[in-house]
Structures are given as structure tokens and as C-alpha cells.
Amino acid sequence: MSSEIPDWAKRRISPYVLSIPEYVPGKPIAEVERELGISGAIKLASNENPLGPSSRAMEAIIRNVGAAHIYPESSGPELRQSLAERYGVSPDCVVLGNGSDEIMQMLAHVFVGTDDEVIFPENSFSMYRIVTRLFGGRCVMVPLKNFGPDLKVMAAAITPRTRLLFVSNPHSPTGTIIDRSEFEDLLDATQNKGVLLILDEAYREYVEMSDCPSGIDYLEKTDHLIFLRTFSKIYGLAGLRIGYGVAKPWLIRLVNKVRPPFNVNLLAQASAIAALNDQDHVRKSREVNSRGKIFLYENLNAMGFDAIASEANFIAFRPTCDAGELYSELLKEGIIVRHLKSFGLPDYIRVTVGLDDQNTKFIEALKRVS
Ligand SMILES: Cc1ncc(COP(=O)(O)O)c(C=O)c1O
């Protein structure tokens, strides 16, 4: 059946929606196995936790599944309470989303209208662009500096039409972290400019470098900051779709106006509470990640590939051969990585750090095909 949008619909549909580039997700394992007629494929493409969820989170899912016929509590009060205690804020500073993606969309809904500007780094997570365009906003994309967001140039790009500014720390897809004093300068530069600073900390729990700034340290002193975190990465719950934002209560109240009721399902809420209470699993996940990174860097460097220093659970590298071809060859070997063409970095591949045996299989396949 034709997948073309018919002319009548093109004339009727919001031009903003039409202009949105379609999100390109990492290829699912089942699809690759089906297409290539293979089994045992490994997905190192979407920065998921290779250890899976904590056993406590899985128990919570089983305990709660019998209540699946009941709507969840709309705003997730118990989880918001747990998060509030963790950060030393009140629960009305916390909003839950169906993934942190959804919170980005809700923030754009609140702030962005036709021709409003949203600033973010040129090579970054595609949702920044998608949520901006969805509401008719203009994307102001600032080139990276040393593979990270160029905070000075981003601040200088602010105009009276700027509504939002996205910074990810660590940055995706490169894994770099931002400098504390540069971040503080950005906070100062954006103060009283009518701009909301969205600090995307999806990979923050993986950071081992000691002086990396965190949104929570600045929340009290500022009025224009929200930080976003997720249970999809180190907490291993990507399949349940749950993330959260922390900000001053006035902003959370506004976000709640556009939040669909029951946006976060019952099992996601229950498992996230359990996952938060299992910090041993988080520590173990961090250890597996650090060990995997050392192994991957050693091998990528030995093969002569430029690998960007990452504080997250993935490594972006520039192969000496064509990155698109390398991606396809790895796929044939049953190894799914991410070609960074859709991030505007066509010469780079990003690999998620896996379990030891997955990392070994990836490197062996890389040696065979490159
Ligand atoms: C930088 C960044 N932010 C946010 C997300 C989305 O996380 P979630 O699964 O909570 O929607 C991702 C997911 O890959 C990401 O890379």
C-alpha cells in the first residue's frame, strides 16, 4: 500500500508537522535477525543498559501487574516523593514523563509558538529539533566545539525570540561533558533573558569525572532551569518509558497543564521506585560500563580509529574507512551500532558499551570488516 501522504492531506496538515524529520531509531534486534536470516544479533545502538533492569524492579513489575486494569495514579505521587527526597526538593518540583522525550515535548508545548527560536547544538539528540518544529519554532543550531556544546556561542545566539535552550550533559552522541564554570556563565548569561534552560542529563549517572556540574546544584538559585533525567539508561527501564524533570514548582504546574493524564503507566511507576532503591544495581552498571569503555578504547585506538573521550555509556569513533559502509558490514555480522549520519556526523559510528562478551564480539567483527 502507498505510504505517500495524499495531496488533500498535505494541504490540511499542519506545515510544522509536515516539516518534521522522521525520527530514526536504532534498528531493533528482531528486525535485523528477520532481514538477514540470522540469530544472536547484538544491539549496541541505543545506549540501553546491557545488564537489564534491577531484580527489584522486575519484582515490582510482577507484584503490580495484577492491577493493570486500573488507571495509574495520574501524576505518580509515590515516585515523585522518592525523587524529591533524593534531590532534597519538594514533590511539586518533579514531573514524570513517558520517557524524558515527552517532557521535552511538553516544555516545547508550553513555551514555543510560531517562529519562536530554540537553541541547541548542531549535532545532538533529534528530539530537540522535532519538538521545536512541532510547535512552529525555529531551530537555531550551534556547531559543536571539541565535540561538545559550545555554551558561549549558544548564549550569544539568544535573541528576544528565543524561548528554550537545550544542553545535554553528557552530550549525545559524543559523550563529552560540559565545564562547570562555562555552565555557570551560561546560567548567568541566560538569566533575565526570557529563556528556559533545559539541561538534559539522560546519561548523568554514568559520569565518573568528579567536577561535572549537575542541575540540582543550581535549581534553588535560578528561576529558568529544568533538568531532565531518565530511567531508560543506567536504570535499565527503556522499554517501560519513564523519565522525569525537576524544576521550580511554577514551571512544573505549567507542564502539568499540557501533560496527558495517566501519561506514565502503572508498571513504569512501580518499577522506577524499586529501581531507585537499588543503587547497588546502578553501581554495578557503572562498573560494567567503565570496564567496557577501557576495553573498547584500547582496541579502537589500536586499530587507529579516532575515538571521542566519553563520560557516558557509548563511544563515538571515526573509522578509517567509510562509516556508512562499516555500519552495513557490521549489521551483516549481526552487530547493530549507530551510524551518526542522522546526527550530522556522517563520518562517525557510535557504539553502546555492552557486556564484556558483547564488546569482544563487536571488536572481533570490527576487525573482520574494517
Ligand atoms: C540525550 C538524550 N536525551 C534523552 C533521551 C531520551 O530518553 P527517554 O528514553 O527518557 O525518552 C535520549 C535517548 O536516547 C538521549 O540520548
Domain annotation covers residue 1: no
Report field, pTM of the whole predicted structure over 0.85? yes
Residue 97 · residue 268 · CB < 8 Å = no
From first to last of the 370 residues of the chain, give the pLDDT tens digit: 878 889 999 899 998 998 887 776 777 899 889 988 888 999 999 999 999 999 999 999 999 999 999 999 999 999 999 999 999 999 999 999 999 999 999 999 999 999 999 999 999 999 999 999 999 999 999 999 999 999 999 999 999 999 999 999 999 999 999 999 999 999 999 999 999 999 999 999 999 999 999 999 999 999 999 999 999 999 999 999 999 999 999 999 999 999 999 999 999 999 999 999 999 999 999 999 999 999 999 999 999 999 999 999 999 999 999 999 999 999 999 999 999 999 999 999 999 999 999 999 999 999 999 8
- Cβ–ligand 1 distance for 200 under 6 Å, the answer yes
Q: Are residues 39 and 156 in the same domain?
A: no
Range of the domain at 318: 7-52+280-369
- Cβ–ligand 1 distance for 125 under 6 Å, the answer yes
- Cβ–ligand 1 distance for 172 under 6 Å, the answer yes
Residue at grid coordinates 501533560: 259
Q: Are residues 246 and 291 in the same domain?
A: no
Amino acid at 108: A
Q: Are residues 25 and 111 in the same domain?
A: no
> Ligand 1: distance of its center to the CA of 100 in Å?
6
The domain total for the chain is 2
CATH code, domain carrying 362: 3.90.1150.10
Q: Are residues 42 and 72 in the same domain?
A: no
- With a CB cutoff of 8 Å and minimum separation 6, the contacts of 144 are 121, 122, 123, 150, 171, 174
Q: Are residues 271 and 126 in the same domain?
A: yes
pLDDT in tens, 118-154: 999 999 999 999 999 999 999 999 999 999 999 999 9
Q: Are residues 262 and 136 in the same domain?
A: yes
Q: Are residues 266 and 301 in the same domain?
A: no
Atom of ligand 1 lying closest to residue 241 CA: 9
pLDDT in tens, 5-19: 899 998 999 989 988
DSSP helix/strand/coil, 114: coil
- Cβ–ligand 1 distance for 98 under 6 Å, the answer no
How far apart (Å, rounded) are the C-alpha atoms in residues 49 and 42?
A: 13
Residue nearest to atom 1 of ligand 1 (CA): 172
Domain annotation covers residue 26: yes
Pocket test residue of 24, 102, 125, 343 for ligand 1, highest count of atoms within 8 A of CB: 125
Helix ranges restricted to H, the chain: 7-12, 15-19, 29-36, 55-64, 77-87, 100-111, 126-134, 151-156, 180-190, 249-258, 266-276, 279-302, 323-332, 356-369
pLDDT in tens, 56-80: 999 999 999 999 999 999 999 999 9
Domain annotation covers residue 2: no
Q: Are residues 236 and 102 in the same domain?
A: yes
Q: Are residues 208 and 357 in the same domain?
A: no
